[in-house]
Amino acid sequence: MSPLSRIKVALIGAGGWGWQHARILSARPDVDFCAIAGRNPDKTRTRADEFGVRSYSDIDTMLSTEHPDMVWLSLPNQGHFAATLQVIEAGYPLLVEKPLVFNLDEGLKLLDEAAKRNLFFAINFNHRYARPVQMAHAAIEQGRVGDISFATWRFGGEGSSDHPHANLIETQCHAFDMIEHLCGPIQSIMAEMTDKTGNGFRTLALALHFVNGAVGSLVGSYDSSYAYPDTHLLEVNGSKGRVLIEDTVRRYTFHATGSEVGEVWQAGYFNDRDREFHRTFDLHADDLLQAFRDGREPPIHASTGQRALQLAYTAIESFKTGRRVYS
């Protein structure tokens, strides 16, 4: 692709988070946002009209008519597999939303079919692009934290699903991705879960052991509220210091070991961009589209979605068997 050419992108999905996809695509001068396909013709037409693009109710028709350079997909959490496979089999590079899928065999099928076609296949783990997360990653990579001894993750809010492990698969996939991004691969998991509020195992606690010898804890829940302060917290402790991430985008703190004086980042008065969670997707889009233009692998390959799903099923097996399970 010419460095000066616009990337023609079609979107599948006209839901709430799909609006964020459309917002980003429509605002970029390097993108030709051409069309939206959705299941509900009226809803899709309304969304397409809002952004001045064409509307389709059939994916194949959209692809054969538009011939986009890339397809972005934002669909209901349990509705990812069929449409994603359809796009892959049609031979189009793509970005999908998390979770990759809910079934391990389906995930392997998608990755295998995309690999056969040598397709650019990205997933939107946009939490990595929050300023506090990037600062924590830099501190760890620079050796400021030292040898990691433990990590703690807590993330709780509301959710509704008919899948018994929805919180673990569709929300804590961010936990698995983020923890491994910062601390390295998880070696084993021991799990406790509860269905005391009904509608599945909505709250869970995991004990983690990392390949590097560190340990960790993960608490996730749909029996909480995103309205609460500190609904998300990630702490990484090492031999030289500690990093703390609060509410993903709100605050980053570093303390050197033994020091009561810390370094704190929090968005300034005019810095709306870094304090807004949705803008983490904009930053991911910057890297993703540049990688596509350069002919490189995506910054976050879809295989990381399969890895998060594998860890989720490792936790499920641990809970069901009452023992430590290796990943």
- The residue among 117, 128, 30, 31 whose CA lies nearest residue 72 is 31
Q: In what order do the strands lie in the sheet with 325-326?
A: 262-265, 251-256, 241-246, 232-238, 148-156, 215-221, 203-210, 186-194, 325-326
Q: What is the pLDDT of residue 4?
A: 58
Q: What is the pLDDT of residue 172?
A: 98
Between CA 306 and CA 317, with CA 311 as vertex, the angle to 5 degrees is: 125
Q: Is the pLDDT of residue 155 over 70?
A: yes
Q: What is the pLDDT of residue 183?
A: 98
CA distance 167 to 155: 10
Instruction: Give the percent of the chain with pLDDT over 70.
Output: 99
pLDDT, tens only, 167-181: 999 999 999 999 999
Residues 187-202, mean pLDDT to the nearest whole number: 97
pLDDT, tens only, 91-123: 999 999 999 999 999 999 999 999 999 999 999
The answer to whether the Cα torsion of 75, 278, 142, 258 is positive or negative is: negative
**The domain made up of 127-279+309-326 is a member of CATH 3.30.360.10:** yes
pLDDT, tens only, 203-216: 999 999 999 999 99
Contact between residue 11 and residue 72 where contact means Cβ atoms under 8 Å apart:
yes
Same topology for domains 7-126 and 127-279+309-326, yes or no? no
Q: In what order do the strands lie in the sheet with 31-37?
A: 54-56, 31-37, 7-12, 70-73, 94-96, 121-123
Residues 30-59, mean pLDDT to the nearest whole number: 97
Contact between residue 222 and residue 101 where contact means Cβ atoms under 8 Å apart:
no
- Cβ-count burial of 136 within 10 angstroms (0-12 exposed, 13-18 middle, 19+ buried)? buried
Q: Is the pLDDT of residue 2 over 90?
A: no
Q: What is the pLDDT of residue 310?
A: 98
Q: Is the pLDDT of residue 65 over 60?
A: yes
Q: How confident is the model at residue 3 (pLDDT cuts 50, 70, 90)?
A: low
- The residue among 5, 6, 13, 16 whose CA lies nearest residue 35 is 13
Query: How is the chain split into domains, by residue range?
Result: 7-126, 127-279+309-326
pLDDT, tens only, 275-309: 999 999 999 999 999 999 999 999 999 999 999 99
Contact between residue 311 and residue 99 where contact means Cβ atoms under 8 Å apart:
no
pLDDT, tens only, 5-25: 899 999 999 999 999 999 999
Architecture of domain 7-126: 3-Layer(aba) Sandwich (3.40)
Q: Is the pLDDT of residue 1 over 90?
A: no
Whether the model clears a pTM of 0.85, i.e. scores above it, the answer is yes
Mean pLDDT rounded to a whole number for the chain: 97
- Cβ-count burial of 5 within 10 angstroms (0-12 exposed, 13-18 middle, 19+ buried)? exposed
